[in-house]
A and B are shown apart, each in its own frame.
Chain A
């Protein structure tokens, strides 16, 4: 609730029409595949959406229209629905369907709501088209305020109130259109914010502006997972039009304003919130819901996930008298297995026992997470390693609030060897930034893991014997639940155990 309130600030209405000839309309519609486009049109023709997605209809047939009309207007919704259902059954090109929409049934214009629906459909069709960053909503304690019971609860999300408050945060020379949608398969509420730079909220704002008004970079998405103190915001870093630096910076500031508006919209009198970064971003919403959602898995990643998952056989029920048969325990006594990765690869390849053992190790480290087909993959994982290269003296005055683990003694050398195997697999870059502090030589090594499912890839490497599963540091299993981090002494630094 800002101090200033300008009475003219209001959102763009959903039924506001955009001229059908507008290039943005064609672009938005053409992005969709034909089946989704057709099902979308049928949604538009639904009785419930009549108000904001009404097609062009002519009462009592089209006698007075010229015969040249390629798409004679229908007289009723039912008739039109039939036409489009026919189209769905038949084969045809997407182009025809788009043309029919633009030049025929919606020749008067496409409403903002329709555009929003089309964009949402695109998002569902291409789940990885947006990069999401998870932010935590934290209570903003005023000075000297004692920890009270209110601090405990997670902020309540009420869509209507939130939108009203957010609208108040939007500057008056900018108009936005909001569209809320429930995600089809995830416990998420998706908010699409579409920003138009114009002080008016009438058709003037949409018609008179140049084409860049509908740049996709003016569309932001915010996802609200259920029962969770996090929000995910889409990072529109991809600028579609090159060479428009001015507009880009505008978008940035708009984005910033929107971001700043989110915690304010959550806040209530005497209950203020702010957003905190959580070092987690991914294209995959499923991964985010898993790591920053409302469930149990937030702070039990990697191998710890076995504690958070359902046991089908009820073996974790205290009323089960059956003595649990250990699934993974007692790996065969390792007798003469050469544990150096290269040795494994060369000499013992194909040895069943070794393969089995490696699988067990991977199971122990990753649990049931990081499977290639679990659909929870993140596509990028960045770490900067700041480990001691040579442990001359176990650091005493470490500014980190951890002290070094006992086993640090010979550890870095060993890890160095392990890391060199990753060099083969993954891209690696050294900053060359060498600082020899009093505590020892800590070169900064940045490692980026890229792929469709980074941790599944690492698991595969462990199972293939390329990465030594037992000496692999914990952050490589993804158990910290971050996509960005600094590793110090083999652990993700500043990561407070479980995000507490």
Chain B
């Protein structure tokens, strides 16, 4: 009995070792694979490669003999083409920020044969591109080109419904974008819709970024340093007071609490600061203005 148990133990140990080795090897494989992909992409996108490939293509056209062209040229050319297309798409995404693509709705009962127009909004904030937002539109109405939002990934604080109502109405007497405008009727306008939507998304992220940078400016996210050589902390907290980050709440160490309202363009239009002895009009006046300058203007007043 004991020998069997021992054996199984030994087997277990060996098995565990093997499994570890396999896992590490697989890790290595995936790392190498991703590295290869990166290298492929880099090589394929480089200028030198492009020139070489162009020559190759020309020789392919000219040559009448099959053997002049390397046999693996075709996959290479396709790969290069795909890579270039991908690069171009990335370029449009990064610079144009609104890009479209086609989706097939997998639902067999989907309207319009499952054709869905996907629109992607790329937003960069604080130097990084964040997860894109998507809006998917379809044409649910027969014999009409009217669009309707099918799915989307916009959070509720982006007023999508409001814009849809305004720019993509689907009620009676509405004409499609391609159609001529009927007198007195409304017309869908996808371009205006996307512009308004993107503006809202970007504005939201800008507000969030400003609040973040304000927090950094007043060192609110750092652990309070005990050294004492820092200037005394004046602001206790700065945060967005609502989902849209259109209201900013500022708390002072001495108990003053302020709330300011930011408009669509990033201007602080209203501000109320309540201290122990009523409103502090001086700081209120300082806060009103561009949202980015709040920190500077506050500091001027403080120090």
Residues of A within 8 A of B (CB): 147, 151-154, 156, 226-230, 294-300, 303-304, 307-308, 310-311, 316-325, 364-365, 401-407, 411, 470-474, 477, 479, 489-491, 496-498, 500
Closest A-B pairs by Cβ, 7 of them:
A490-B109, A474-B107, A227-B243, A152-B159, A318-B93, A403-B142, A296-B153
Residues of B within 8 A of A (CB): 34, 37-38, 40-42, 44-45, 79, 82-83, 86-87, 89-91, 93-94, 105-113, 118, 122, 129, 131-134, 136, 138, 140-143, 148-157, 159-162, 164-166, 241-244, 246-247
Query: When the two chains form the complex, which single residue of A227, A295, A497 contacts B151, counting CB atoms closer than 8 Å?
Result: A497
Question: What 11 new A-B contacts, CB under 8 Å, besides A229-B156, A321-B42, A497-B148?
Answer: A153-B246, A296-B131, A300-B151, A307-B134, A317-B129, A318-B122, A364-B106, A407-B113, A411-B109, A470-B106, A474-B107
In chain A, what residue has the closest Cβ to B143?
A: A403
Chain A residues within an 8 Å CB radius of B160: 498, 500
> Which of B107, B113, B131, B244 has the most chain A CB atoms inside 10 A of its CB?
B107
Q: Contacts A364-B106, A500-B149, A500-B160; is A154 near B111 (CB within 8 Å)?
A: no
In chain A, what residue has the closest Cβ to B82?
A: A323
In chain A, what residue has the closest Cβ to B241?
A: A156
Chain B residues within an 8 Å CB radius of A230: 156
Q: Contacts A296-B155, A299-B151, A316-B131; is A323 near B110 (CB within 8 Å)?
A: no
Chain B residues within an 8 Å CB radius of A365: 106
**Contact at B132–A316, with CB atoms within 8 Å?**
yes
Instruction: Compute how far the CA of A479 lies from the CA of B153 in the bound complex, rounded to whole angstroms.
Output: 13
**Contact at B153–A300, with CB atoms within 8 Å?**
yes
**Contact at B113–A295, with CB atoms within 8 Å?**
no
**Contact at A310–B159, with CB atoms within 8 Å?**
no
Task: Write the nearest CB–CB distance from B32 to chain A, whole angstroms.
Answer: 14
Instruction: Compute how far the CA of A401 lies from the CA of B148 in the bound complex, rounded to whole angstroms.
Output: 12
**Contact at B150–A498, with CB atoms within 8 Å?**
yes
**Contact at B153–A324, with CB atoms within 8 Å?**
no
Interface SS of chain A = loop
**Contact at B94–A153, with CB atoms within 8 Å?**
no
Instruction: Compute how far the CA of A500 lies from the CA of B148 in the bound complex, rounded to whole angstroms.
Output: 10
**Contact at A473–B108, with CB atoms within 8 Å?**
yes
Chain A residues within an 8 Å CB radius of B44: 323
Q: Contacts A295-B155, A298-B156, A497-B151; is A471 near B108 (CB within 8 Å)?
A: yes
How many A-B residue pairs lie within 8 Å, measured between CB atoms? 161
Chain B residues within an 8 Å CB radius of A153: 159, 242, 244, 246
The 8 listed contacts between A and B (C-beta, < 8 Å) are A147-B162, A147-B165, A154-B244, A307-B151, A321-B41, A406-B113, A491-B110, A496-B148
Chain B residues within an 8 Å CB radius of A497: 138, 140, 148-151
Instruction: Compute how far the CA of A264 lies from the CA of B34 in the bound complex, rounded to whole angstroms.
Output: 56
**Contact at B110–A474, with CB atoms within 8 Å?**
yes
**Contact at A296–B37, with CB atoms within 8 Å?**
no
Chain B residues within an 8 Å CB radius of A316: 131-132
Instruction: Compute how far the CA of A298 lies from the CA of B154 in the bound complex, rounded to whole angstroms.
Output: 8
Instruction: Compute how far the CA of A498 lies from the CA of B151 in the bound complex, rounded to whole angstroms.
Output: 5
In chain A, what residue has the closest Cβ to B165?
A: A147
**Contact at B151–A324, with CB atoms within 8 Å?**
no
In chain B, what residue has the closest Cβ to A320?
A: B90
Chain A residues within an 8 Å CB radius of B161: 500
Q: Contacts A296-B154, A307-B153, A310-B131; is A473 near B243 (CB within 8 Å)?
A: no
Instruction: Compute how far the CA of A320 lies from the CA of B42 in the bound complex, rounded to whole angstroms.
Output: 11
Task: Write the nearest CB–CB distance from A317 to chain B, whole angstroms.
Answer: 5
Chain B residues within an 8 Å CB radius of A364: 106
> Which of B89, B111, B156 has the most chain A CB atoms inside 10 A of its CB?
B156
Chain B residues within an 8 Å CB radius of A403: 141-143
Q: Contacts A489-B109, A490-B109; is A318 near B90 (CB within 8 Å)?
A: yes
Instruction: Compute how far the CA of A154 lies from the CA of B155 in the bound complex, rounded to whole angstroms.
Output: 11
Query: When the two chains form the complex, which single residue of A151, A311, A405 contacts B112, counting CB atoms closer than 8 Å?
Result: A405
**Contact at B133–A304, with CB atoms within 8 Å?**
no
**Contact at A296–B109, with CB atoms within 8 Å?**
no
Instruction: Compute how far the CA of A151 lies from the CA of B164 in the bound complex, rounded to whole angstroms.
Output: 13
**Contact at A296–B110, with CB atoms within 8 Å?**
no
In chain B, what residue has the closest Cβ to A404?
A: B142
Instruction: Compute how far the CA of A303 lies from the CA of B107 in the bound complex, rounded to whole angstroms.
Output: 10
Instruction: Compute how far the CA of A229 lies from the CA of B160 in the bound complex, rounded to whole angstroms.
Output: 13
Task: Write the nearest CB–CB distance from B134 to chain A, whole angstroms.
Answer: 4
Instruction: Compute how far the CA of A418 lies from the CA of B255 in the bound complex, rounded to whole angstroms.
Output: 66
Chain B residues within an 8 Å CB radius of A227: 155-157, 243
**Contact at A156–B242, with CB atoms within 8 Å?**
yes
**Contact at A152–B162, with CB atoms within 8 Å?**
yes
**Contact at B243–A294, with CB atoms within 8 Å?**
yes
Q: Contacts A411-B109, A474-B109, A497-B150; is A151 near B162 (CB within 8 Å)?
A: yes
**Contact at B165–A319, with CB atoms within 8 Å?**
no
In chain A, what residue has the closest Cβ to B247?
A: A156
Instruction: Compute how far the CA of A61 lies from the CA of B75 in the bound complex, rounded to whole angstroms.
Output: 89
Chain A residues within an 8 Å CB radius of B148: 496-497
Chain A residues within an 8 Å CB radius of B166: 147
Chain B residues within an 8 Å CB radius of A299: 149, 151-154
Task: Write the nearest CB–CB distance from B140 to chain A, whole angstroms.
Answer: 5
In chain B, what residue has the closest Cβ to A316?
A: B132
Chain A residues within an 8 Å CB radius of B42: 321
Query: When the two chains form the complex, which single residue of A296, A303, A324 contacts B133, counting CB atoms closer than 8 Å?
Result: A296
Instruction: Compute how far the CA of A364 lies from the CA of B114 in the bound complex, rounded to whole angstroms.
Output: 14
**Contact at B90–A321, with CB atoms within 8 Å?**
yes
Chain A residues within an 8 Å CB radius of B241: 156
In chain A, what residue has the closest Cβ to B122?
A: A318
In chain A, what residue has the closest Cβ to B264?
A: A149
